[in-house]
Structure 1
């Protein structure tokens, strides 16, 4: 058997970091879509990712170009397009995050959280009203669940309220960390109904009276995602904009169960992005007269990174396969999210370590991955909260307070 170059993929379409060739589970047609997206990201996103990260601005100019790829809402059924497998949509999330976690998050908030909320919790009329224009990205979506005083406890601790008055719902309160909210056309908002204390879902349009969004400044993770504080002051939302099937937090959890698996894929993508740069650097950086890749301590770190990537990719892939098979429980999504993002923190730390002082320079990219990993580790449920979900699924007993 001939010696394999570790920087060369197992086949022309595979990433070199995919040591076990997981991409082979994709069909030929799915692989063509992945390659189209990979080429786009290389040409359009990679050259300016650091620039937008440093500015703290979302690359909204890319949205029409992303729309042309026709991958938005790929998991949902549209006229002339059948839903793609979750295996494919997950892999596309990996590809985005591998190049730029911020662009990945900007896209996944719209195509994942916002569109999933309408697809899963909306009526047929609501799906027809909003999803086609979201697919073409003529309307951009955001997702509002977290609050200034509530993150892990939002299932029972929402402070944003809704009350029905005639043909409108009146929303009062605020949300925090809402990605895309500074430029979104539609914001999915969850609020507690004053009448029955149940969590209800609404589609708030940006021009509604009583709604405003303020960009959060001083953020040093996912800087090119424009997270916002959003406020509702006697905000009048038409009855027709209340999501028909969003009537309790159990309904809200259906969306989170789906998108948590997507965070696992994104974590793998970030790992691969950091790994690729660290391996290339180790092969080129010369100390004591030879490339640092030839030193045992560096080789050990690279092997650990490869192990984390391979194990996490296998888990993310299996969760998507279970989704495609219709076998998907809270503990599946929670375990993949907490495991992959924990391994992510290790990988980006090792990548930065390999680069020494250069690892803190934006020119080398790894510090961007290092910082962005912290947001992935925290959003869509902290590691501890997801572990409690896993424990409940395994034992049948809930350890939630």
Structure 2
């Protein structure tokens, strides 16, 4: 068989596999060709893993403060340890640092203590914690061999609290509030968008006018007004759910428009018309035929909506109208950098902002890849 014939045969077999593949298989084949989307998906999976096991991954209690380590600078882990004889061994550690004050200006400055190191160990015991608020544990992913010692990979804040532990704990609230908020928005969007696109007429007109009014309202003043209306004596949990509901009430409009557009398109498809002629009820047609056909588009829309929720929570908490201490979220942590003194003393306090940037970019890359993969037949073969 000639080389040309082999190529033609290979192309025919590839096209046959594509024609016979399921929708999810086609989506996956298309999605994995999008390198940025794959990278974003890995980063988001990592963030949610950290959020799920935050207490175990955080080396210290995020609320524990140490006055002698106020604005402690970030430290770098070293894996090779040299002894006095020059021989080396694999022992992860950081250089111990102490605070010295200028006798004239009283300015504090951390300097390394020669010969003193804080040795680290994986899966060792440290500060006790409650895993998911239920199980009393004390073993951490990484912690000092000596429980009385401290290390600061992300530095410390104005109260001497470990910023790495606080950033890890903040991941849980900031990333979960996006999921919960989008889940509520999706529920409202599918119900109202589906009714609007399927029934049309007066119902569609009323729902679309409501959506247009909601979109016309300036978002930030609306958030501020709704957040300011919350009682200040609410608990952290109550305030968390209130913020989630506020974001959902504002964020459902775009999802509703996406759902309405897909309903309008699918309503005239042959399989929907066949289901109607076969005597299927309206609810069966909607939930058995139309909604499963637009699952991929809903997933893409949801992935692109989560970053907006995360940014909204961060903005509200940064302005002091969202979650409040002792709650820990990325927005609450960024409250520390609202004054010049904090920025000058600890520029590493901006690190939670970097986490927001990474999460939002990764979610946008992931959403972009899912949006392209949602219509795999429209993509060219590579």
TM-score, normalised with respect to structure 1: 0.28
- The structure with the greater share of residues assigned to helix is 2
Q: Please tell me whether Structure 1 or Structure 2 has the larger radius of gyration of its CA atoms.
A: 2
